[in-house]
Structure 1
């Protein structure tokens, strides 16, 4: 997990984070997360993908749905998270171009040099949405809350190997914040973690 440097948890986002079922994770992220690279590397070396367990000197152990629920506060018994679109150039709702939708939901478009296919550099998110302006109206606060949630998903739960890009595949979720809490984010994050541990070379940590 990576701490969201430059993305302060604003009290005005709390309502939206609660709707999304991610408020507990956001609070943990804002205070506690630090990446211990040697420790993570040691765990990766002891991971056995055929059994989904860590082979430790004292026996086998693993990360469970209970861990996701109790430690991260993520829902684990709701609708499954899906929606990897094979062609994100044109989103299926009304055939709107994805970047038009991005601008509608976040109020701004990233410069071309900050985009890699359908992912945006984290630094742009952090610089653009690092702190919500004082006196911002409800629409502006929603822009910032959506950006915060996208980077929370893209860096804390579903980070890619680069660790510095946010995929815009999360647009359908942040478009309907009131529905996000109905998804099993814990089981999706756990499945993603298993996949990443199995595929990630230890020299990348």
Structure 2
């Protein structure tokens, strides 16, 4: 990705996958288990609430959130991903949109009771990370919640080839610096042996 914009890189990958020339590494055929597991653990109820799914890819996380009763909008920078998500989930109530996280629609600011960010920030070069972090934090409405899932950059590692470029602890904490409060920051090792961040942030009501 170093020689092209993130949007172009993702669009090229999804086009190749649609043509049967590549596979999407994060396509599990279902929601991310560590996202779904958090909802199950917390007993989240979505009726009457609005959710935004960031970097929705093929839509599996968005469909899971919609199944909990949320009114869901999901977006991705890659037009082919959005088209594929709509085709994969015919009749879905999710509103799939093409949008760029570096320049999202202004009306999304402060508009969402729940924001789900799963593995998107780690796919963005570090030079853009402060900008997209501010935008993601800014989506959260008063009284709302942000759920973040990302890989952990190991201690003692300054940089890595990517994508992904996994997150340091200060990059997770940056969401709180952008106007949210950290409710829980969990570092855990999954069944696949990979270490991840799962963090929950909130914005004060009113």
TM-score by length of 2: 0.23
Task: Write 1 or 2 for the structure with the bigger share of strand.
Answer: 2
Could you say which structure has the greater relative contact order, defined with CA pairs below 8 angstroms and 6 or more residues apart? 1
TM-score by length of 1: 0.23
